[in-house]
Structures are given as structure tokens and as C-alpha cells.
């Protein structure tokens, strides 16, 4: 097998100097993720310097490193390791003949990216590369590009932002042939002031489109017109997806499936597909339509994509479902602990209301980065909690106080942190419960999920 990178290629891409000849099979900047034959990039961060972990990386099997100070092991010496990682990412993109898809949005980025990977991989096994985890920022995106195999047929890259201008930089690095916006919601609104400003920032993804590239945007969004106008500056090929009449990729029929998912009939300009979407919820119908739109734009295998969507499992922190033994039987725990904003909270509470259960319990962590609208947006969750017929709510974090005040007729408790919520939930759980756990990642509800399910902390 050809190596991912040779030391000569790394030196040429970064303008560095190789101390010796070596080949690498992977790239990482976290020494804990290094495997045999990998390249370790010693990044300098605010709280740690990767050069302090060079020894650990080589002990784990690293074949070489990118460093800004000489070491005894094989390495490429550069002036700045972060710039070198970006240079390596550009070289990877330059040498690749893969069709590249960029995905952004306020909600659904990671799930859509994973579903798109599954849909493309089903028809092209082993030829599809994607960013792992949520590596979607100024470090994660170049790392994901640098990891792309030279013979990949497709590359799928998630891109995130919480300030204007960030996506502009990332998309010019990725240079997608297809750019997707999943949805617009008041995530990170603290830094923007309005949803309209968030939509403008998300539309930066179109700035990196390759010639004759395709922009794929949500038809049902109130920001459709603004997104379409921004996309039109960079491409004449714009595709919409959604439920409403007029969407290019439209769900003309949706029926609850026996497995908890949704059976949809999706209509395209010149085709129609009936398939099952395994993950439950209306938000997943939207995600799936975006995925099918990408496959259609790529001229891919829609039938294979449909099969992949039918087999999708929930992701940890983003919909994974676990059966938890409790006294007298079992309870269902739905893990949405990785992220939260008003739109995703409403969608998952709506889905919880559809679960067959003796009781429905919602463990809701604070939504971060909502700025001056925090109290208002937290209090507004009272409506979807009521609509979802939630029997008991555990509210976690100081920001949840306005919601606690608004829940006059719904049994609830307001606690300070994830530890207190864990203790309360473990005491409260009963057989037949359906439990939703959702909040911003910094609240730490993943630790609650791990404690209750017996899984790993991370």
C-alpha cells in the first residue's frame, strides 16, 4: 500500500526540512490518538505544547513528527507547526481527485456528515473519507484534510463556526464541489445578535465552492431567500431540500416506521425514492433529504443511499439509544448530550413525546452562547415540554432558572450540575421510562449518560 505521506512530500508541502526518510499512514495532533505509523503534529496551544508529548507519541508508534524544534526522532522541522498542518491540508486537497462535500449548519452537521458518509460508502466501499468526531474548526478541518487518502473517491468535511469569517477561511481550504447548509437556528447567537446574521455567516461556505459547484440549502427555512442570494454569488447551481412544495428534493409523504424511524417518499426532479430513515424525528427527515440531495447532485446511487439511511444507528451524544436495566424492568435512555440550541431542543422534545413509555423524563442542560436572549429562549422550552407530554423534567445549570419558573404545571427539579442531575435521575428512574438527556456539551451530561448506562466517561 502507498503511504499517506512520505517525509519528502511533507517537507515539500510545508517548506520544512526532513531529518530522515520516513513514511506515515495517518496524522494526529493528540498523542493519545497516535497509532503505529502515524505522523504526530506538535501543535502549540493555549494550555499545552505538543512538543512536550513527542516522546509519548513515538512510544505509541509514531513514524515521524512535524516540529518547530529539533528532536532525536524522525521529523520535519518547520517554523510554525499550525501553519505546517494547514499547508499539508492544502497539499492533500491539491493532489486529490475526490469529489468534496462541505457540510455546515446550526444543527445536524455531524449527523448529516455521518449519514452522507454511510450513503456514499454503501456504493463505494472503502473509497469515502470524512472528518471524524466533530473535527470542524480551524484545527480539525485541516487535520481531516491532511488525513484524506490520496486515492479517495469522495471526501465529506464538516465545518463549524461561532464567529463571522471563520467559515470563509475553512471553506477556502476545503474547496468543496458541493456545499450543504443543514438548518439555521439561534446557536451561538451571543456572537451574532440575530438569526439573520447567523444565516449570513453560514452562507460563507459557498465562498469556497469549486467552479460549477452545487449549493444545497434548506427550502423550509425562513432564511431561504437570503441563503439563495448568497449562494448565487458563487454558483448558478442551487438545490433545495425540504417538505414544502417547490423543494427540489422533497418528502412528499412521511409515515412513522415500525422501528421508530420514518418511511419517506422523496421526489427528485427526475426520480422518486421510497426508503426508511432509521433515526427517529422530523429533524432526521430533513437531514436525510439533504443527504439524498448531495447523492443526486453527485450522480450517485440513490438506492444504495436509501439502504444506508435505513441502517443508520444513533451516534453517541447525538441520538444513541440505550436500554438501561432498572428495578422491575428496563428504561430507554436517548443520548443527545453533545449539543443543544432552541431548535434542536424543540425537535428532540417533540420526538420524546412520540415515544411509547410509561413516563417521559427530560434531563435538559443549559443552552450556551445565547447572549442576552438566554433567559427568553430557555423559558420558551416550556411550550415543547408541554407539547411533548413530558411527565418530569430535570433542569441542569443556572441558565435553566427561567424555564423552571415557566413550568408551573409540569413536575420538575432544577439542579446545579450534572452530578446532582445524575443522583436525582438514578433515584427517579423506573421501568418503562423513556429518558431524553440533552444539553450543551460543556454542561457535562455525557458523564450522566456514562454513569447511568455504565459506559465510558468520554
Average pLDDT of the chain to the nearest whole number = 94
Q: List domains and CATH numbers for the chain.
A: 5-80 (3.40.1390.10), 96-310 (3.40.1190.10), 320-453 (3.90.190.20)
Give per-residue pLDDT as tens, 78-96: 999 999 999 999 999 999 9
Mind listing the pLDDT tens digit for each residue in 345-390?
A: 998 999 899 899 999 999 999 999 898 899 999 999 999 999 999 9
Q: How would residue 456 be classed by pLDDT, with cut points 50, 70 and 90?
A: low
* 282 has a pLDDT exceeding 90: no
Whole-number Å distance between alpha carbons of 289 and 41: 37
Give the span between the Cα atoms of 430 and 428, in whole angstroms.
7
Is 457's pLDDT higher than 60?
no
Cα separation, 398 vs 401, whole angstroms:
6
pLDDT at 458: 42
Sign, Cα dihedral of 94, 98, 99, 100: negative
What mean pLDDT is predicted for residues 159-165? 89
Q: How far apart are the first and last CA of the chain?
A: 33
H-helix or E-strand containing 249?
Answer: strand 249-256
> 248-254, long-range: CB within 8 Å, 24+ apart, which pairs?
248/219, 248/293, 249/289, 249/290, 249/292, 249/293, 249/296, 250/219, 250/289, 251/285, 251/289, 254/282, 254/285
pLDDT in tens, 38-74: 999 999 988 899 999 999 999 999 999 999 999 999 9
Calculate ∠ Cα 248-254-260, nearest 5°: 130
Given a contact cutoff of 8 angstroms between Cβ atoms, the answer to whether 106 and 341 are in contact is: yes
The predicted model scores a pTM of 0.81
Q: Which three cell numbers stand for residue 361?
A: 423524563
Q: What are phi and psi of 167, to 5 degrees?
A: -65, -30
Gap between the Cα atoms of 38 and 29, Å rounded: 10
- Alpha carbon distance 117, 148 (integer Å): 13
% of the chain residues with pLDDT over 90: 83
Q: What is the mean pLDDT of residues 273-295?
A: 94
Amino acid at each position: 500500500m502507498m503511504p499517506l505521506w512520505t517525509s519528502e512530500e511533507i517537507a515539500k508541502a510545508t517548506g520544512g526540512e526532513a531529518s530522515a526518510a520516513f513514511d506515515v499512514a495517518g496524522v494526529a495532533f493528540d498523542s493519545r490518538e497516535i497509532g503505529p505509523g502515524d505522523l504526530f503534529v506538535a501543535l502549540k496551544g493555549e494550555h499545552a505544547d505538543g512538543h512536550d508529548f513527542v516522546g509519548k507519541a513515538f512510544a505509541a508508534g509514531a513514524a515521524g513528527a512535524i516540529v518547530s524544534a529539533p528532536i532525536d526522532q524522525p521529523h520535519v522541522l518547520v517554523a510554525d507547526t499550525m501553519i505546517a498542518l494547514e499547508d499539508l491540508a492544502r497539499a492533500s486537497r491539491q493532489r486529490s481527485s475526490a469529489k468534496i462535500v462541505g457540510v455546515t449548519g446550526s444543527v445536524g452537521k455531524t449527523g448529516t456528515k455521518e449519514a452522507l458518509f454511510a450513503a456514499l460508502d454503501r456504493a463505494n466501499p472503502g473509497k469515502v473519507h470524512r472528518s471524524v468526531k466533530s473535527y470542524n474548526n480551524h484545527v480539525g478541518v485541516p487535520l481531516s484534510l491532511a488525513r484524506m487518502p490520496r486515492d479517495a473517491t469522495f471526501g465529506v468535511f464538516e465545518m463549524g463556526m461561532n464567529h463571522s469569517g471563520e467559515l470563509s477561511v475553512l471553506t477556502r481550504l476545503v474547496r468543496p464541489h458541493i456545499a450543504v447548509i443543514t438548518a439555521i437556528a439561534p446557536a451561538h447567537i451571543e456572537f451574532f445578535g440575530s438569526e439573520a446574521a447567523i444565516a449570513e455567516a453560514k452562507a460563507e461556505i459557498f465562498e469556497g465552492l469549486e467552479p460549477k459547484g452545487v449549493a444545497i440549502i434548506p427550502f423550509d427555512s425562513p432564511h431561504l431567500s437570503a441563503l439563495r442570494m448568497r449562494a448565487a454569488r458563487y454558483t448558478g447551481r442551487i438545490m433545495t431540500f425540504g417538505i414544502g412544495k417547490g423543494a427540489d428534493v422533497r418528502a412528499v409523504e412521511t409515515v412513522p416506521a415500525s422501528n421508530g424511524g420514518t418511511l419517506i417518499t422523496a421526489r427528485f426532479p427526475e426520480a422518486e425514492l421510497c426508503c426508511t430513515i432509521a433515526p427517529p424525528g422530523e429533524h432526521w427527515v430533513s437531514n436525510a433529504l439533504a443527504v439524498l440531495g448531495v447523492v443526486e447532485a453527485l450522480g450517485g446511487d440513490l438506492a444504495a443511499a436509501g439502504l444506508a439511511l435505513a441502517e443508520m444507528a444513533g451516534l453517541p451524544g447525538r441520538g444513541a439509544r440505550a436500554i438501561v436495566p432498572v428495578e422491575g424492568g428496563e428504561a430507554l435512555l436517548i443520548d443527545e448530550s453533545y449539543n443543544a440550541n432552541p431548535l434542536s431542543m424543540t425537535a428532540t422534545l417533540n420526538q420524546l413525546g412520540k415515544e411509547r413509555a410509561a413516563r417521559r423524563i427530560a434531563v435538559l442542560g443549559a443552552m450556551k452562547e445565547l447572549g442576552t436572549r438566554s433567559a427568553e429562549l430557555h423559558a420558551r422550552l416550556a411550550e415543547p415540554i408541554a407539547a411533548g407530554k413530558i411527565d418530569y423534567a430535570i433542569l441542569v445549570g443556572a441558565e435553566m432558572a427561567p424555564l423552571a419558573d415557566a413550568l408551573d404545571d409540569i413536575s420538575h427539579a432544577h439542579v446545579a450540575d450534572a452530578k446532582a442531575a445524575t443522583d436525582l435521575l438514578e433515584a427517579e428512574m423506573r421501568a418503562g421510562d423513556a429518558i431524553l438527556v440533552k444539553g450543551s456539551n460543556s454542561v457535562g451530561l455525557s458523564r450522566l449518560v456514562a454513569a447511568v448506562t455504565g459506559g465510558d466517561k468520554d
